Amino acid sequence: MGQSKMHSLAQPDGIIQKQRNFVLVLTFLAAIALISILIAVSLGSAKISANEAYRIILYKLFHLNINHIAEQASLAHMDIIWEIRLPRVIMSAVVGAGLAVCGVVMQAAVQNPLAEPYILGISAGASLGATFSILLGGLAGMLFGLGTAVWAFMGALGASLFVITLSSIGGRASTVKMVLAGSIASALFIAFTNFIIYISSNAEGMRSVTFWTMGSLAAAKWDNLALPIAGVGICCIFFLSQFRTLNTLLLGEEAAISLGIDLGKVRRLYLIITALVTGLIVAACGIFGFVGLVVPHVVRGVIGADHRRLLPGTILVGSIFLIWADVLARTILPSGELPIGILTALVGAPFFMYILVKQSFNFGGQ
- 228, 98 Cβ separation under 8 angstroms: yes
- Give residue 65's pLDDT: 67
Task: Give the domains, in start order, of the chain with CATH numbers.
Answer: 91-357 (1.10.3470.10)
Is 0.85 topped by the overall pTM? no
- Give residue 324's pLDDT: 94
Closest CA relative to residue 161, chosen from 264, 260, 52, 92: 264
Stretches where the chain sits below pLDDT 50 are 1-10, 140, 142-144, 361-362, 365-366
- 75, 312 Cβ separation under 8 angstroms: no
- Give residue 1's pLDDT: 46
- Give residue 215's pLDDT: 81
